[in-house]
Structure 1
Amino acid sequence: MSLTGTPFFLTSLTLLIVAVVLPFALWGRIAGPPLVRGLGRLLMLLFAQVTAITVVFVLVNNANSLYDTWDDLLGTGSHVEAARDLGPDGMGGRQIKHEPKQLQQFRPADDPKVGAGVQMTDLQGRISGVRGEVYVWLPPQYNDPAYRDKKFPVVELLPGYPGSAKSWMGSLRAAEQLMPLMQNGTVKPAILVAPRTNLLPGADTGCVNIPGKVNADSWLTVDVRKMIIDNFRAGDKPDSWALAGYSAGAHCAAKLALAHPDRYRAAVAMSGYNDPALERDSLAGKDPKLRIESNPLHILKSANAAGKPPRTALYVSGAERDGFQAGLGLRQFAQNPTTVTLRQIPPGAGHTTVVWKQQVPEIFRWLGTQLRA
C-alpha cells in the first residue's frame, strides 16, 4: 500500500474511528482480574494514540510531500548504485557531446495529486551512478503546431529535506498555477523537471559529489539535464536552464548554479541557507572540506578571486532569520556579471509550503526575464 496513496489514508482514518469507538464499547465489559482489565484498557488507549498520530502524520506528509515511499520514511532504500570519483567537473573524464542519447519511456505520473499533464520516468544515471524517478511537465505551447520548431527553456525543481520529487507539482501546485499564466502570456513557457533528490537513507546529500558515497551533483547537473535534452525540445545552452528550490533545495539551487555557470543561467532560492551544516543531516555539512567548498558564498568568492565571476542570476527570498541573511551575503559579493535579486518575506510567515506556493507565479515571471531558448 502506497505511503501517499488514498487507500492508506482511508485505512488510517478507519482505524482511528475504531480506536475511538472501542473504549466506549468495551471499557466496562472487559472481564478478568484487575491486572487484565487494566492492561486491556491501556492497550485500547495506546491504540487510539497510535492511530491518531498516524492520521496526523499522513495529513502532514501528504500536504508537504516529505516522504514519497516507505523506504524513504523507514530509511531502508538507497538510490545509489555506484559513486566513483568523477573529478572536479563531475564528468569522470567523459564529455557529454560524446555520450550516446539516453532515450526514455515516459508514463503518466502515478499520483493524481501532482495534477494533469505530469509524466514520469525512471532514470538510470550513466555518469552519476544514481537511479531515480524524474517528473516532467510540458508547457501548453509545447504541442502547439506554431511552436513545433521551437526549443523551450527548462527549470529543475528541487524540494527541501526530507522531500519528495513530487512536492513542486503536488504541494506547491506549480504546474496548476503556471498553466493559465503561460497560456495568457503572463509567464513565458518553460519545461518543468522535478528529479528525485532523496538518494540515501537518513541523509541529505547537500547536492554534492562524495566518492564512494553519492554523486548527487552529477545526477542533477549532468544525467538529468542530458536526459531532458535527449527526450524533449529543450534548449541545450546555459541560457536555457535554471534551478529553483526551497529550504535545502534552495541551498542546492544556488550552489549548483554558481558552481556550474556552463550549465545554468539562473537559480531561485526560497528560504535557504549558505552553510550546509545548518541542515543537521547534511553530508556536506559534516565534512569540514565540503562544508566550505559547497557553500554558495565560498563558491562566489572563489570565482571572484580567480577573476571569473559567474554569469549567474540569483533570486533569493526569505524572512529575516530564514534565508534573507544568506541572500544579503550573496548580494554583497556579487560582481558583474553575477546578479542577486533579493526579496524579504514578512516575519512570522513560516517555513512552510504555503509560503513557497504563493511565490511560484512571481519567481517564474522573474525566470522568464533570465532564460531564453
Structure 2
Amino acid sequence: MSLTGTPFLCTLAVLCVLALGLPLVLWSRVRGPRAVRALARVFMLLFAQLTAVALVFTLVNNANQLYDDWGDLLGTADHVEHAADLGADGTGGMSLERLPRVRQTFGPARGPGMRAAGGVQVTKLEGRVSGVRGEVYVWLPPQYDDPAWRGHRFPVVEMLPGHPGSAKAWFGTLDVHEQMLPLMRSGRIAPFVLVSPRTTLVPGADTGCANLPGKVNADSWLSVDVPRMVMDNFRVQRAPQGWAVAGYSAGGHCATKLAVAHPDRYRAAVSLSGYNDPAAERTSLTGRDPALRTAHNPLTLLREAVAPPRISLYLSGQRGDGYEDALALGRAAKPPTSVQVVKLPRNAGGHTMALWRPQVVPAFRWLTEELDGQRTVSHRPPVTPPGPSSAGARPGAPASGSASPAAAARTR
C-alpha cells in the first residue's frame, strides 16, 4: 500500500474511528483480573493515540510531499548503483557527445496534483555517468504539441525539493504547473519544460547535490544525466543557454551551487530560502567535514572562481532564513555574474510551502526575462505576493538588483 496513496489514507481514517469507538464500547465490558483489565484499557488508549498520530503525519506528508514512499520514510531505499570518482568535471573523462542517445519511456505520474494542467509524466532513469537510478518527472508547456510551435526548442527549468522532500513536491504542493499554465498560454511567461528529478538518493541523509566518491554522485546525476536525458527525449534547448535550476530550502542551496559550479550547464538559478553553508542541513553529507563544507559552499565557489561565471541568480529569503546568505553572494558577485536578492517580510510565513508557493510566479517571470535575453539592470524587480498564511503582509522588496558589491552593501 502506497504511503501517499488514497487507500492508505482511508485505512488510517477508518482505524482512527475504530480506535475512538473501542474505549466507548468496551471500557466497562472488559472482564478478567484487574491487571488484565488495566492492560486492555492501556492498549485501547495507545491504539487510539498511535492511529491519530499516524493519520496526522500522513496528512502532513501528503500536503508537503516530504516522503515519497516507504523506502524514503524508513531509510531503506538506496538509489546508488555505484559511485566512482568522476573527477572535477563530474564526467569521469567520458566524452558525453559519443555516448548513445538516452531513450526513455514515460507514463502518467500518480499522486496529488499530478493530473492537473495537462498532467505530469514520469520515467525511471538509470544514470550512465553518475551511477544513480531514480524517478524524473516532466511537464510540457501547452505550446509543446501546438503545430505552430513544431520547430521550436523550449527552455528548461530543473526543479529541486528540500530535504526531506519528494520530486513531486513542486507539482503536488507548490502547484507550479497549475500556476504556470494560464500565464504560459497568455504569453506572460515563457513556455518552459519543467523537470523534477529525485534528490533523495542516500538513506537518511541529504547529499548536498555533491559528488562524493564511494557514496553518491548526486552532482553528476542532476547536472549531467538528467539534462542529457531530457535533451535526448524532448524538443528543448541545448545547455547552458535556456537551462535553469530552481529549488527551495536545501534544494535552493543545491540550485545555487550547481549554477555557480557549472556555468557550462546552467544559465540561471532560483533559490527560495536557500543557504550557503552545507552544515545548515544537519543531515548533509557535505556538512559533516570541514573540507567538504568549504568545497561545496557556493559563496566560496563564487569567490574562488578563476573567472566570474556567466550566470544569473534569483535569491529570496527572510532575515535569518536565506536573506543574509543571499546578500553575501550579491557582494561577492562580479560581472558577468548577476544577482537579484528579494527580501521577504517576516509576516509572509515561515520556512514552509506557504512561503514558497506565492514566490513561484515572480521567480518564473524573472526566469522568462533572463533566459529570453531581455535582462536589464534597471528592470522592475519581481514582487512576491502575500500567500494564504500571510494576510496583510506587504510584498517582498528587492534587496539587490545587481551584482555590484556596492549596490548590495547599500541595502545592509
Partner residue of 1:114?
A: 114
SS at match of 1:38: helix
Matched-pair contact (CA < 8 Å) for 1:125–1:219: yes
Letter in 2 for 1:357: R
Matched-pair contact (CA < 8 Å) for 1:115–1:175: no
Partner residue of 2:402?
A: none
Partner residue of 1:56?
A: 56
Alpha-carbon distance in 2 for matches of 1:279, 1:255: 15
Alpha-carbon distance in 1 for matches of 2:152, 2:322: 36
Matched-pair contact (CA < 8 Å) for 1:257–1:312: yes
Partner residue of 1:88?
A: 88
Correspondence 1:346 to 2:345: yes
The one of 288, 291, 313 equivalent to 1:289 is 291
SS at match of 2:79: coil
Letter in 1 for 2:147: P
Partner residue of 1:369?
A: 369
Correspondence 1:318 to 2:320: no
Unaligned runs of 5+ in 2: 374-412
Q: Deviations over 1:119-150 (max 9, x none)?
A: 00000000000000000000001111111000
Alignment length, in residue pairs?
A: 370
Residue 113 of structure 1, CA deviation: 2.6
Matched-pair contact (CA < 8 Å) for 1:66–1:161: yes
Matched-pair contact (CA < 8 Å) for 1:114–1:173: no
Partner residue of 1:180?
A: 182
SS at match of 1:169: helix
Letter in 1 for 2:325: A
Residue 337 of structure 1, CA deviation: 0.5
Partner residue of 2:171?
A: 169
Partner residue of 1:358?
A: 358
Q: Deviations over 1:150-183 (max 9, x none)?
A: 0000000000000000000000000011001100
Q: Which has the higher contact order (CA 8 A, sep 6+)?
A: 1
Partner residue of 1:218?
A: 220
Q: TM-score, normalised by structure 2?
A: 0.89
Partner residue of 2:381?
A: none
Residue 114 of structure 1, CA deviation: 2.1
Q: Deviations over 1:222-254 (max 9, x none)?
A: 000000000000111312100000000000000
SS at match of 2:113: helix
Correspondence 1:254 to 2:256: yes
Letter in 1 for 2:303: K
What pairs up with 1:1-373 in 2 under 5 angstroms?
1-116=1-116, 117-303=119-305, 306=306, 308-348=307-347, 349-372=349-372
Unaligned runs of 5+ in 1: none
SS at match of 1:91: coil
Mean Cα deviation higher: 155-164 or 109-118: 109-118
Residue 34 of structure 1, CA deviation: 1.1
Task: Provide closer, same or farther for how the CA distance between residues 209 and 302 of structure 1 changes in structure 2, counting only shifts above 3 A.
Answer: same
SS at match of 1:239: coil
Residue 287 of structure 1, CA deviation: 2.0
Residue 112 of structure 1, CA deviation: 4.5
Task: Provide closer, same or farther for how the CA distance between residues 317 and 231 of structure 1 changes in structure 2, counting only shifts above 3 A.
Answer: same
SS at match of 1:89: coil
SS at match of 1:242: strand
Partner residue of 2:388?
A: none
SS at match of 1:114: coil
Alpha-carbon distance in 2 for matches of 1:159, 1:215: 17
RMSD, matched Cα: 0.9
Residue 346 of structure 1, CA deviation: 1.0
Matched-pair contact (CA < 8 Å) for 1:258–1:300: yes
SS at match of 1:113: coil
Q: TM-score, normalised by structure 1?
A: 0.98
SS at match of 1:311: coil
Identity %: 59
Q: Deviations over 1:174-195 (max 9, x none)?
A: 0011001100111111000000
